[in-house]
Amino acid sequence: MHKFFKRDLLIILACYVVHASVYAAQMSLWDQLNASGTMMDLFINLMSAICASMANTAFRLKSETVVVSQVFKELAYGIGIGLTAGVVTYSVAEAAEANNFLQLALVTLAGWGGAKVIESYSNKYFGGKSEDAS
Amino acid sequence: MGLTLKRHARNRAHLSVNLSADWPIRVFYGLMTLYQGLFGLFVPSSIFYQALQNYEGAAAIITCLLAAGALLVVDGLFAMIRYCTHVSCERVDPAMVIFNRWRPLLFLPPVFCYYVTLILVNRQLQAGVLTVIGYYVVLAVLGVVFSLRDGIISQNAQRRGPNA
């Protein structure tokens, strides 16, 4: 029960922060992206997030308890999650005008952690199937 | 030789000869990483050198590159000896089990180092930014691909079971 509460709190917090970042972006998004260096920062940050998510995938593949039946599905899933978590965290950090390195660290951790969070949720939804995967 | 899988009692790491078959990749990427670290120490045109000039903390990046590269080369050489020679490798097997388990941590830290360095220096580069960034992004993607490939090989070896 306690764990459930913590998880849902995290989700609510994430939703709130995303909305805050949307409201913070008053200027046109495209204008801001085209501002000097932002696109390159976004690119590098996203690569880092995807890489972190792939790190999670690599450890899943190496793990003896998790048996992955469709490797390509697993990879696509990893890339998608890394991208989503990366974009969300990048926007939040950008809206908060965080330091570049703090931003990179947050985005990378989100790439890693995003996979974990969604994994635990899909475990909840499609329970049993990956029960042996914990 | 075929696929010989040994099942270890304590940690069930599968240590097949075929898992050692990709030793060239480990040696290649290890040397590549090692060279990047050494370039960072000695070659002024390297982005790692520039990062070191501007930020004290970049020493950690170079240390990470050197350590990961050296370990990968050692791992690759062990694997080469296991795969290509008839030398009995009983004595290095425990080390190989550890390497086999944690290899993602050898392939992936250089990748993060490349990205951090790109962010560190991308304000100061003028000419040929795209070439430099492209080069390091390709290196980083290669690291990710090698790491995933390693994981896929061990999945396949695992699924086929110990006696296949």
CA distances B67 to B59, B106, B111, Å, are 12, 9, 13
Cβ-Cβ contacts under 8 Å, A68 against chain B: 155
Residue B11 is given by DSSP the state S
User: Which residues on chain A place their C-beta less than 8 Å from a C-beta of chain B?
Assistant: 37, 40-41, 44, 47-48, 50-52, 54-55, 57-62, 64, 67-68, 71, 75, 100-101, 104, 108
Burial of B99 (0-12, 13-18, 19+ CB in 10 A): buried
What pTM did the predictor assign? 0.73
CA gap A31, A45 in Å, rounded: 19
Residue A45 has pLDDT above 60, yes or no: yes
The dihedrals phi and psi of A61, each to the nearest 5 degrees, come to -65, -35
Q: Looking at residue A68, what is its pLDDT? A: 77
Inspect the interface and report whether the beta carbons of A58 and B140 lie closer than 8 Å. Answer: no
Give the least confident one: A94-103, A121-130, B42-51, B79-88: A121-130
Reference A64, options B159, B94, B22, B95; nearest CA is B159
Give me chain B's average pLDDT, please.
Answer: 81
Closest-CA distance, B39 to chain A, in angstroms, reads 22
Euclidean distance between the first and final Cα of chain A, in Å?
A: 18
Residue B11 has pLDDT above 70, yes or no: no
Encode pLDDT of A83-103 as tens digits. 888 888 888 888 888 888 888
Encode pLDDT of A47-60 as tens digits. 999 999 998 888 88
Closest-CA distance, A9 to chain B, in angstroms, reads 30
Q: Looking at residue A25, what is its pLDDT? A: 61
Secondary structure in 3-state letters for A20-86: HHHHHCCCCHHHHHHCCCHHHHHHHHHHHHHHHHHHHHHHHHHCCCCCCCCHHHHHHHHHHHHHHHH
What chain B residue is nearest to A65 in terms of C-alpha separation?
B12
Reference A52, options A90, A22, A20, A19; nearest CA is A90
Bridge partners for B7 per DSSP: B14
Residue B10 has pLDDT above 50, yes or no: no
CA gap B96, B98 in Å, rounded: 5
Residues B34 and B70 sit within 8 Å (Cβ to Cβ)? yes
CA gap A44, B114 in Å, rounded: 10
Residues B68 and B89 sit within 8 Å (Cβ to Cβ)? no
Encode pLDDT of B94-145 as tens digits. 888 888 888 888 999 999 999 988 888 876 666 677 788 888 999 999 999 9
Token pair in block for residue B154: 């061990």
Number of domains, chain A = 1
Encode pLDDT of B64-101 as tens digits. 999 999 999 999 998 888 888 887 777 888 888 888 88
| Segments forming the whole domain that contains residue A33 | 2-133
CA gap B3, A120 in Å, rounded: 35
Inspect the interface and report whether the beta carbons of B152 and A71 lie closer than 8 Å. Answer: yes
Closest-CA distance, B114 to chain A, in angstroms, reads 10
